[in-house]
Structure 1
Amino acid sequence: MHIMNLTPDSYPIGTPGQPWGATELAEWRARQMKQRSYAADVLNAIDALRSRFDVSTYGEVRYGDEHYPLMAIRSRHWQAARPCVLVTGGVHGYETSGVHGALQFVDQHAQPLSEAVNLLVVPCVSPWSYERVHRWNFDAIDPNRSFRESSPAQESVALMQLIASLAERFTAHIDLHETTDTDESEYRPALAARDGLPFEPGTIPDGFYLVDDAGNPQPAFQQAIIAAVQKVTHIAPADADGQIIGSPMVAPGVIRYPFKSLGLCAGVTGARYTTTTEVYPDSAIATPEQCIAAQVEAVRAAIAFVVAAQRASADML
Structure 2
Amino acid sequence: MTNSTYPIGTPGTKWNNSDKAQWLARQNIKRSYQDEVVTLVDDLKSILNVEQYGELNYAAGVYPLYVLKTPHFNADKPTVLITGGVHGYETSGVHGALRFAKTSAIQHSEQFNIIVAPCISPWGYETINRWNPDAIDPNRSFYENSPAHESAAIMAFVKSLDIDLMAHIDLHETTDSDNSEFRPALAAREGTTNTNWNIPDGFYLVADTNKPEPEFQKVIIEDVAKVTHIAPSDENNQLIGVAQEQFGVINYAARDLGLCMGFTDAPYVTTTEVYPDSPTATDEECILAQVAVIDSALKFIINKQSK
TM-score for the superposition, normalised by structure 2: 0.98
Listed one character per residue, the Cα deviations across residues 151-172 of structure 1 (whole Å, up to 9, x for unaligned) are: 1000000010011001221000
2:257, 2:2 → 1: CA distance?
A: 27
Alignment equivalent of 1:33, drawn from 19, 28, 37: 28
Alignment partner, residue 118 of structure 1 = 113
Alignment partner, residue 132 of structure 2 = 137
Alignment partner, residue 153 of structure 1 = 148
1:8 to partner: Cα distance: 5.3
2:70, 2:2 → 1: CA distance?
A: 49
2:36, 2:304 → 1: CA distance?
A: 35
1:9 to partner: Cα distance: 2.0
Alignment partner, residue 63 of structure 1 = 58
1:65 to partner: Cα distance: 6.3
1:144 to partner: Cα distance: 0.2
Alignment equivalent of 2:164, drawn from 155, 169, 176: 169
What are the equivalent positions in structure 2 for 1:83-232 lying under 5 Å apart?
83-232=78-227
Listed one character per residue, the Cα deviations across residues 77-104 of structure 1 (whole Å, up to 9, x for unaligned) are: 1112211110000000000000000000
Aligned pair count reads 307
2:183, 2:4 → 1: CA distance?
A: 11
SS in 2 for 1:56: strand
Identity of aligned residues (%): 54
The question of whether the paired residues in 1 share the 8 Å contact of 2:3 and 2:188 is answered with: no
SS in 2 for 1:29: helix
Whether 1:275 and 2:266 are equivalent positions in the alignment is no
Alignment equivalent of 2:291, drawn from 275, 288, 296: 296
Q: Which amino acid aligns with 2:36?
A: D
1:202, 1:34 → 2: CA distance?
A: 28
1:227 to partner: Cα distance: 0.7
The question of whether the paired residues in 2 share the 8 Å contact of 1:8 and 1:200 is answered with: no
Listed one character per residue, the Cα deviations across residues 51-110 of structure 1 (whole Å, up to 9, x for unaligned) are: 111100001111236211100000001112211110000000000000000000110111
Where does the alignment leave 5 or more consecutive residues of structure 2 unmatched? none
Whether 1:12 and 2:20 are equivalent positions in the alignment is no
Alignment partner, residue 74 of structure 1 = 69
The question of whether the paired residues in 2 share the 8 Å contact of 1:117 and 1:307 is answered with: no
Q: Which amino acid aligns with 2:108?
A: L
SS in 1 for 2:245: coil
1:48, 1:120 → 2: CA distance?
A: 16
Where does the alignment leave 5 or more consecutive residues of structure 1 unmatched? 1-5, 313-317
Listed one character per residue, the Cα deviations across residues 21-74 of structure 1 (whole Å, up to 9, x for unaligned) are: 111111101111000000001110000000111100001111236211100000
1:7 to partner: Cα distance: 4.8
1:116 to partner: Cα distance: 1.1
The question of whether the paired residues in 2 share the 8 Å contact of 1:176 and 1:276 is answered with: yes
2:230, 2:214 → 1: CA distance?
A: 16
SS in 2 for 1:115: coil
